[in-house]
């Protein structure tokens, strides 16, 4: 089996023992898109419950986790091959940690790895501004804006692991994220 890792390699040691685990089963793409926001809201609400004693802190944690989870679930949907999407999330001390896993085809892997080479190549803030400017000039919805926003504005640490050569023709993509959150 061949493995390639992009981003913060230390995140790949994710321990799902105490994680909230959700599976989105394969189906029509429009159903998965619609369920992305619902799933993100559920995860954000579940993790943010520990912060109810401060309304401001609760709202911030809920918003930040909701944004992060929605971006990663949408990317799992966008780059997926037929099959389920596994989402695991937990609060680990002062961090929210998350892992998504789904299957992708070789073409999607190549496109996504090219994107990752760009978004992990320098300072996320500078890259975000460059990508916004490129998007405006090209008049399109540039890929990578969500990931760069997470890295620049939310200081999210990200990693991606591609495993190919398993028993099936698809590549397994696991996306890892860690974001600092205030203690309750």
Dihedral Cα 158, 161, 26, 156, nearest 10 deg? 0
| Residue 173 pLDDT exceeds 90 | yes
Predicted pLDDT at 39: 93
The DSSP letter of residue 12 is G
Beta-strand ranges (E) seen in the chain are: 2-7, 20-24, 85-92, 95-104, 157-164, 171-180
DSSP per residue over 114-147, as a string? Answer: HHHHHHTSS-HHHHHHHHHHHHHHHTS--TTHHH
Each residue's pLDDT tens digit, 3-16: 999 999 999 999 99
Each residue's pLDDT tens digit, 53-75: 999 999 999 999 999 999 999 88
Q: Which helix (H) or strand (E) holds 45?
A: helix 29-48
Nearest residue to 176 (alpha-carbon basis) of 36, 5, 54: 5
Each residue's pLDDT tens digit, 35-57: 788 999 999 999 999 999 999 99
Q: How far apart are the C-alpha atoms of 108 and 94, rounded to whole Å?
A: 34
Predicted pLDDT at 90: 95
- Which tokens is 8 given? 């913060």
What percentage of the chain carries pLDDT values higher than 90? 53
Each residue's pLDDT tens digit, 155-166: 999 999 999 876
Predicted pLDDT at 183: 64
Nearest residue to 144 (alpha-carbon basis) of 78, 60, 52: 78
Each residue's pLDDT tens digit, 103-153: 999 988 998 898 888 888 877 677 767 767 666 666 555 567 788 889 888
Q: Residue 7: which CATH number? A: 3.30.565
Predicted pLDDT at 114: 87
Q: How many domains does the chain have?
A: 1
Highest mean pLDDT among 23-27, 30-34, 66-70, 108-112: 66-70
């Amino acid at each position: 089996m061949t493995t390639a890792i992009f981003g913060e390699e230390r995140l790949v040691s994710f321990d799902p023992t105490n994680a909230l685990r959700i599976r989105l089963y394969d189906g029509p793409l429009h159903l998965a898109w619609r369920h992305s926001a619902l799933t993100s809201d559920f995860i954000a609400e579940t993790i943010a419950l520990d912060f109810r004693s401060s309304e401001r802190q609760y709202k911030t944690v809920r918003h930040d986790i909701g944004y992060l989870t929605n971006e990663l679930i949408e990317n799992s949907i966008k780059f997926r091959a037929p099959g389920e999407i596994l989402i695991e999330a937990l609060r680990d001390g002062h961090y929210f940690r998350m892992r998504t896993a789904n299957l992708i085809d070789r073409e999607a892997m190549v496109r996504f790895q090219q994107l990752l080479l760009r978004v992990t190549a320098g300072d996320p803030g500078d890259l975000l501004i460059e990508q916004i400017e490129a998007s405006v000039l090209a008049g399109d919805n540039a890929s990578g804006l969500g990931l760069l926003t997470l890295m620049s504005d939310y200081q999210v640490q990200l990693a991606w692991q591609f495993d190919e050569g398993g028993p099936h023709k698809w590549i397994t993509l696991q996306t890892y994220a860690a974001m600092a959150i205030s203690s309750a």
